[in-house]
Amino acid sequence: MATEIETQQTTGRDESQLRQFAESFLENKLAVFGLFLILSIGVITLFAPQIAPYEPRTQNYDAILEGPSAEHLFGTDNLGRDIFSRVLYGYQTVMTITLGGVMMAFVLGTSIGLTAGYRGGWTDQAMMRAVDVLMAFPSLILALALISALGPSKWGVLLVLGVAYTPIFARVARSEAVSLREEQFVKSLEVRGASQSRIVFRHILPNAVGPLIVTITLQFAFGILTTATLSFLGVGVQPPDPSLGRMLTEGKDYLATAWWYSIFPGLAIMIPVIGFNTIGDGLRDTFDPRQVNR
Amino acid sequence: MEWYEYVLKRLLLFVPTLFGVSVFVFYLVHLVPGSPAVAMLGVRATEERVQEIERELGLHEPLPVQYVDWFSGVLVGNLGQSYSFNGPVAPILADRFFVSLELVLLTLLVSLSVSIPLGIVAALNKNSAVDYFSMGVGITGVSVPTFFSGVVFIAIFAVGLSWFPVSGYVAPTEDLVENLRHMVLPTLTMTLVAVAVAMRMMRSSMIETLGEEYIRFLKAKGLRSRSILFGHALKNSFIPVITVIGLQFGYMLSGAVVVEQIFAIPGLGRTVLQAVLQRDYPLVQGSVLLLALWFSAVNLGTDLIISYLDPRIMEEEA
Q: Is residue A20 part of a domain?
A: no
Q: Is residue A64 part of a domain?
A: no
Helices (H), chain B: 3-31, 36-41, 47-57, 63-75, 89-124, 129-143, 146-153, 176-210, 213-220, 225-228, 234-262, 268-278, 281-309, 312-317
* Pairwise CB contact (< 8 Å): B288 & A145: yes
Question: What's the burial of B50, exposed, middle or buried (CB within 10 Å: 0-12/13-18/19+)?
Answer: middle
Taking the CA of residue B218 and the nearest CA in chain A, the distance in Å comes to: 22
| d(C-alpha B174, C-alpha B171), whole Å | 5
Residue A9's pLDDT is 45
Phi, psi (deg, nearest 5) at residue A232: -60, -40
Write out pLDDT tens, residues A161-216. Answer: 999 999 999 999 998 888 888 888 888 888 888 788 888 888 888 888 888 999 99
Write out pLDDT tens, residues B63-100. Answer: 888 888 888 888 888 888 888 888 888 889 998 999 99
What single-letter DSSP state applies at residue B231?
I
| d(C-alpha A243, C-alpha A153), whole Å | 12
Write out pLDDT tens, residues A228-280. Answer: 999 999 998 888 888 898 898 888 888 778 888 888 998 999 999 999 998 98
Q: Distances from the Cα of B294 to the Cαs of B104, B178, B250, B301, in angstroms?
A: 12, 27, 10, 11
CATH of residue A172's domain is: 1.10.3720.10
In this structure, of A5-9, A127-131, A236-240, the range with the lowest mean pLDDT score is: A5-9
Q: Count structural domains, chain A.
A: 1
Q: Is residue A135 part of a domain?
A: yes
Whether residue B53 contacts residue B280, with contact meaning beta carbons closer than 8 Å, is answered with no
* Pairwise CB contact (< 8 Å): A292 & B204: yes
Residue B125's pLDDT is 81
Q: Which CATH class is domain B97-267?
A: mainly alpha
Of the two residues A256 and A122, the one the predictor is more confident about is A122
| d(C-alpha A43, C-alpha B142), whole Å | 24
Phi, psi (deg, nearest 5) at residue B81: -105, 135
Whether residue B305 contacts residue B137, with contact meaning beta carbons closer than 8 Å, is answered with no
Q: Is residue A130 part of a domain?
A: yes
Question: To the nearest whole percent, how much of chain A has pLDDT over 90?
Answer: 35
A73-87, A214-228, A278-292, B125-139: which has the highest mean pLDDT?
A: A214-228
Q: Is the pLDDT of residue B205 over 70?
A: yes
| d(C-alpha A171, C-alpha A129), whole Å | 11
Q: Is residue A155 part of a domain?
A: yes
Q: Is the pLDDT of residue B318 over 60?
A: no
Quote the Cα angle for A259-A97-A29, to 5°. 70
Query: Among partner residues A141, A262, A291, which is closest to B151 by beta-carbon distance?
Result: A262
Taking the CA of residue A272 and the nearest CA in chain B, the distance in Å comes to: 9
Number of A–B residue contacts, CB under 8 Å: 151
End-to-end CA distance of chain B: 9
| d(C-alpha B275, C-alpha B257), whole Å | 12
Whether residue A167 contacts residue A215, with contact meaning beta carbons closer than 8 Å, is answered with no
Single-letter residue type at A29:
K
Whether residue B162 contacts residue A258, with contact meaning beta carbons closer than 8 Å, is answered with no
Whether residue B281 contacts residue B80, with contact meaning beta carbons closer than 8 Å, is answered with no
* Pairwise CB contact (< 8 Å): A133 & B21: yes
Q: Which residues of A touch B13 (CB under 8 A)?
A: 129, 132
* Pairwise CB contact (< 8 Å): B20 & A273: no
Average pLDDT over residues A98-125: 93
Domain ranges of chain B: 97-267
Q: Is residue A87 part of a domain?
A: yes
Torsion over CA: B191, B197, B201, B204 (sign) = positive
pLDDT band at B159 (very low <50, low <70, confident <90, very high): confident
The alpha carbons of chain B give a radius of gyration, in whole angstroms, of 24
Q: Which residues of A touch B83 (CB under 8 A)?
A: none
Single-letter residue type at B253:
L
Q: Is residue A145 part of a domain?
A: yes
Query: Among partner residues A133, A148, A291, which is closest to B20 by beta-carbon distance?
Result: A133
Q: Which domain holds residue A136?
A: 27-56+79-288
pLDDT band at A293 (very low <50, low <70, confident <90, very high): very low
Which B residues, 287 through 306, put their C-beta within 8 Å of a C-beta on chain A? 288, 291-292, 295-296
Q: Is the pLDDT of residue B105 over 60?
A: yes
Average pLDDT over residues B100-129: 86
Q: Is residue A195 part of a domain?
A: yes
Strands B81-82 and B87-88, by their bridges, are: antiparallel
